[in-house]
Amino acid sequence: MTPEQPKDCILQGQELHLDYAGKSVIAGLNIHIPRGRLTVILGTNGCGKSSLLKMLSQVLPPSKGRVVLDGKTLAEMGNKERARQLALLVQKPELPDGIEVQELVSRGRYPHQTLWQQWSPVDERAVANALSATGLTGMARHQVASLSGGQQQRVWLALVLAQQSDVLLLDEPTSFLDIRAQLSVMDFCKALRQQGRTLVLVLHDINQALRYADHLLLMREGRILAQGAPEELISEQLLRDAFDLDARIIRDPEAGCPMLIPRVSQYDHAWDRREGPV
């Protein structure tokens, strides 16, 4: 499907290529992230979603091609300038030893500090607001390592929030969370979107993607298979093409959005029949 460029696009990947040790995992990928919308990237394990998110934040510079953020080439921006505009939460962030919640969230203010502008009441307020928005004020002095997986995920979200960037890239922010906690994270992302932030999430739950996304990117083997509004994009054929999945698409009776129901299992022990990593 030919990607149609959204009218107001804040982040663009142009002809992106990525090689790991000489092996190509992404080749000639073009994407457009609409401003102030919630974009979800979907695709099979190993298709290159995390790699794409890292390229979009310059954590992993593309082997070829360029990323453009609000008209500026990302590679030409300084680290702090970039981090003031764009935040990335990776899939498994490394937790520093013995760190407390407030201290970790405060690290989100690093891009705002300069030689002349040290820690200020503005930073203090940003951290307090991030803790409050994620319901962590009462846990500010707790060791992060002592918290549950769901609480720790909220701490990482608070860190990203304290960074106050317009664009948030979140890699599987709901993994390891129970269903209620997953929906809290998704509602939280929706609220950020309603405040005008741009969000790009990697998810594995297609129904959550169909419910929350304004814009979907479907990947397969390092390529974009389709991108656009979920309602217009999703089809049983596309699910077959993207996931080898045989599913029906019905309408959520309450939310009105499309949702999928996989057909009776033909998937047991199917790993060996699927292609390996790209």
Ligand X SMILES: Nc1ncnc2c1ncn2[C@@H]1O[C@H](COP(=O)(O)OP(=O)(O)OP(=O)(O)O)[C@@H](O)[C@H]1O
Contacting positions for ligand X (CB under 6 A): 20, 25, 43, 45-51, 277-278
Instruction: Give 67 or 139: the residue with its C-beta nearer to ligand X.
Output: 67
Report the 10 Å Cβ neighbour count for 78.
9
Contact in structure between 111 and 78 (CB atoms under 8 Å): no
CA distance 205 to 185: 13
What are the distances in angstroms from CA 139 to CA 122, 142, 270? 21, 5, 44
SS3 201: strand
Compare residues 20 and 176 and give the one whose CB is closer to ligand X.
20
Nearer to ligand X, 41 or 131 (CB): 41
Query: Closest CB to ligand X among 13 and 108?
Result: 13
Nearer to ligand X among residue 19 and residue 178 (C-beta): 19
Minimum CB separation from ligand X for residue 19, in Å?
Answer: 9
State the CB neighbour count (10 A cutoff) for residue 67.
Answer: 24
The β-bridge relationship of strands 223-228 and 215-220 is: antiparallel
Sign of CA dihedral 85, 207, 190, 257: positive
Which residue's structure tokens are 């307090």?
128
DSSP for residue 145: G
Cα-based angle 29, 244, 260 (whole degrees, multiple of 5): 100
Shortest Cβ 199–ligand X spacing (Å):
17
Q: Is the Cβ of residue 136 or residue 177 nearer to ligand X in the bound state?
A: 177
Provide the minimum distance between the beta carbon of 52 and ligand X in the complex, in angstroms, as a whole number. Answer: 7
CB of 178 to ligand X, least distance (A): 20
Check the CA dihedral 141-144-148-150 and report its sign.
positive
Shortest distance, CB of residue 272 to ligand X, whole angstroms? 17
In the bound complex, what is the minimum distance in angstroms from residue 55's beta carbon to ligand X? 9
